[in-house]
Chains A and B, each alone.
Chain A
Amino acid sequence: MAAADELAFHEFEEATNLLAETPGAATTSRSDQLTSPGHVAVAVGSGSSYGAEDPEEEEGDRTALLQEEKPQPGFWTFGYYQSFFDVDTSQVLDRIKGSLLPRPGHNFVRHHLRNRPDLYGPFWICATLAFVLAVTGNLTLVLAQRRDPSIHYSPQFHKVTVAGITIYCYSWLVPLALWGFLRWRQGVRERVGPYSFLETVCVYGYSLFVFIPTVVLWLIPVPWLQWLFGALALALSAAGLVLTLWPVVREDTRLVAAALLSTVVLLHALLAMGCKPLPPEQVAPPAHVTSVVLHTQLPPTVARSVATS
């Protein structure tokens, strides 16, 4: 597998599954010649989840050279967290592109993460999304005030906190629940392990990227266009999630698979609905709206009474 990986990238699913099951043979360029068959056998036999938080066993001199086999520093050391930020600019951009354009043959975790999940992408994509939400919410109010000067403008700074908390909770708690559920199902069904927690967080984090340009495009005040953009973003994002989860879930019963996938899509849709801007009539404080309503109601009644008299 290491030799095959040196050559052009193969799109066969078996190859990538085998590659996923043998992380010792994975794709860092430093480690190609040093994987021994003995280690590969151990990795296949264990079948446990892999990823950055696994306690790897030391095997003497080879461990210093094989990146996945370094002795894990304890979680209280700085080096432990540094291993989650071990990405380059090109890798992050490649992962973002992979989440924007999900393809049915490509599993995001296998093809883009390549068993090296990072926390940089999820963290900063969520932060960007929270701030962009707050900024565009503010801009919507400004544009609404241009059209209707009676709406009272205010910076509405609390939106930043609300948006930030919501997005971060979604991006961490839902993957936690999903991972826990998949681990429980793995225990029940005795099959190949699901993704590690960090990989799930990664998948969710990168899938939120498509909402950033969508939220900016939602500034255009045409309602059907807003629904179109929203549906498109939701389709891309949810497709990425479903395609990533499908190989893990399809071996389960149809009922569980369908329920899980529909829950994932539903939660994602709820988030999208939450991000969509409200129409400006609901954003302005009600006192001003009712005063506007009163003013517009009085002249017609006055006009009618004048007309009838």
Chain B
Amino acid sequence: MAEVAESPADRGTASPRPLFAGLSDISISQDIPIEGEITIPMRSRSREFDSSTLNESVQNTIMRDLKAVGKKFMHVLYPRKSNTLLRDWDLWGPLILCVTLALMLQRGSVDSEKDGGPQFAEVFVIVWFGAVTITLNSKLLGGNISFFQSLCVLGYCILPLTVAMLICRLVLLAEQGPINFMVRLFVVVVMFAWSIVASTAFLADSQPPNRKALAVYPVFLFYFVISWMILTFTPQ
């Protein structure tokens, strides 16, 4: 502990002195260990956050990621010009959607190899390589979006088409016929337009204005191919 040579209180009756004037009279005979926490209010929250995710329950971890994915799904379903999808990108949503779509699209029975719909691997390859190609195209044209942000947006905007696939599967349980086909066509066309609108809302701003159409056309082709695969799906 410090030993104070003189107490500043003894001088209380004298004339008023400037603040901290008596500190120069204090002599400290040994080192004072300085300890304690230096915390900045905002940082402390995140540091506590980071250090404690190791100890939280598995349910918390999973729920946090699921909530992030769900929030992005909402952004896709109601596309507004916001950059929530872009800021915190993640690829969980695209993976879930791609696996769901591929599982539903693959041909079930063991008919001849050549004459069928796409296999699981084909759908997977088309979705991921298509997204990578579009991202590369966008970056080569001079866009200022990062690689994974673009993959994230393109993957999340498959959500309307996955919903269309679910609806088509349900509609196909009814009897086949031209009305059946018209209903499926209408659903797929509406969801295709929704996907394009959603992805354009996020991606169009990243390109210079004289190249927007060049960057949007491959997106159009990509979703057209996926819509075609959904529309021509026939159960065995």
Write the B196-229 contact mask toward A (1 if CB under 8 angstroms, else 0): 0000000000000011111001100100110011
Question: Known contacts A87-B214, A89-B213, A153-B234: does B141 contact A120 (CB below 8 Å)?
Answer: yes
In Å, the complex CA distance between A158 and B112 comes to: 12
A156 touches B (CB below 8 Å)? yes
In Å, the complex CA distance between A87 and B224 comes to: 24
Which residues in A have their C-beta under 8 angstroms from that of B232?
138, 155
- Are B234's CB and A155's CB within 8 A? yes
B92 touches A (CB below 8 Å)? no
Those 3 A-B pairs whose CB atoms lie nearest each other, nearest first: A85-B140, A154-B115, A155-B117
Which residues in B have their C-beta under 8 angstroms from that of A152?
115
B122 touches A (CB below 8 Å)? yes
- Are A89's CB and B214's CB within 8 A? yes
A242 touches B (CB below 8 Å)? no
In Å, the complex CA distance between A85 and B111 comes to: 44
Which residues in B have their C-beta under 8 angstroms from that of A297?
none
Query: Total interface residues on B, using CB and 8 Å?
Result: 28
Which residues in B have their C-beta under 8 angstroms from that of A135?
228
Which residues in B have their C-beta under 8 angstroms from that of A128?
221
- Are B142's CB and A82's CB within 8 A? yes
Question: Known contacts A124-B218, A127-B221: does B210 contact A90 (CB below 8 Å)?
Answer: yes
In Å, the complex CA distance between A104 and B211 comes to: 31
A71 touches B (CB below 8 Å)? no
B114 to chain A, nearest CB (A): 5
In Å, the complex CA distance between A307 and B179 comes to: 44
Which residues in A have their C-beta under 8 angstroms from that of B79?
none
B89 touches A (CB below 8 Å)? no
Indicate which residue in B111, B122, B137 contacts A120 across the interface (CB closer than 8 Å).
B137
Which residues in B have their C-beta under 8 angstroms from that of A81?
140
Which A residues form the contact surface with B (CB < 8 A)?
A: 78, 81-82, 84-90, 92, 120, 124, 127-128, 131, 135, 138, 152-158, 285
B124 touches A (CB below 8 Å)? no
Which residues in A have their C-beta under 8 angstroms from that of B142?
82, 85-86
Which residues in B have their C-beta under 8 angstroms from that of A86?
142
- Are A154's CB and B116's CB within 8 A? yes
- Are A285's CB and B214's CB within 8 A? no
In Å, the complex CA distance between A150 and B223 comes to: 32
Question: Known contacts A82-B140, A131-B221, A135-B228: does B116 contact A120 (CB below 8 Å)?
Answer: no
A153 to chain B, nearest CB (A): 7
- Are A157's CB and B116's CB within 8 A? yes
- Please give me the residue from chain A that is nearest to B181 by CB atom: A142
- Are A157's CB and B117's CB within 8 A? yes
8 interchain pairs (CB within 8 A)? A89-B212, A131-B221, A131-B224, A131-B228, A135-B228, A154-B115, A155-B116, A285-B112
- Are A92's CB and B214's CB within 8 A? yes
Which residues in B have their C-beta under 8 angstroms from that of A131?
221, 224-225, 228
Q: A120-B137, A154-B111, A154-B234 are in contact. List 7 more A-B contacts (CB 8 A).
A: A87-B211, A88-B211, A138-B228, A155-B117, A155-B232, A157-B118, A157-B122
- Please give me the residue from chain B that is nearest to A87 by CB atom: B214
In Å, the complex CA distance between A120 and B115 comes to: 33
In Å, the complex CA distance between A87 and B137 comes to: 12
In Å, the complex CA distance between A157 and B232 comes to: 10
B123 to chain A, nearest CB (A): 9
Which residues in A have their C-beta under 8 angstroms from that of B233?
155
* Interface-centre pick from A78, A88, A155, A158 (highest chain B CB count, 10 A): A155
In Å, the complex CA distance between A36 and B210 comes to: 31
Which residues in A have their C-beta under 8 angstroms from that of B234?
153-155
A219 to chain B, nearest CB (A): 15
Which residues in A have their C-beta under 8 angstroms from that of B122?
157
B80 to chain A, nearest CB (A): 26
Which residues in B have their C-beta under 8 angstroms from that of A138?
228, 232
Which residues in B have their C-beta under 8 angstroms from that of A127?
218, 221
A151 to chain B, nearest CB (A): 12
In Å, the complex CA distance between A127 and B134 comes to: 12
In Å, the complex CA distance between A69 and B218 comes to: 31
- Are A285's CB and B115's CB within 8 A? yes
Which residues in B have their C-beta under 8 angstroms from that of A156?
114-116
Question: Known contacts A89-B210, A124-B218, A128-B221: does B141 contact A158 (CB below 8 Å)?
Answer: no
In Å, the complex CA distance between A89 and B210 comes to: 6
In Å, the complex CA distance between A153 and B181 comes to: 14
- Are A124's CB and B210's CB within 8 A? no
A282 to chain B, nearest CB (A): 14
Which residues in B have their C-beta under 8 angstroms from that of A92?
214
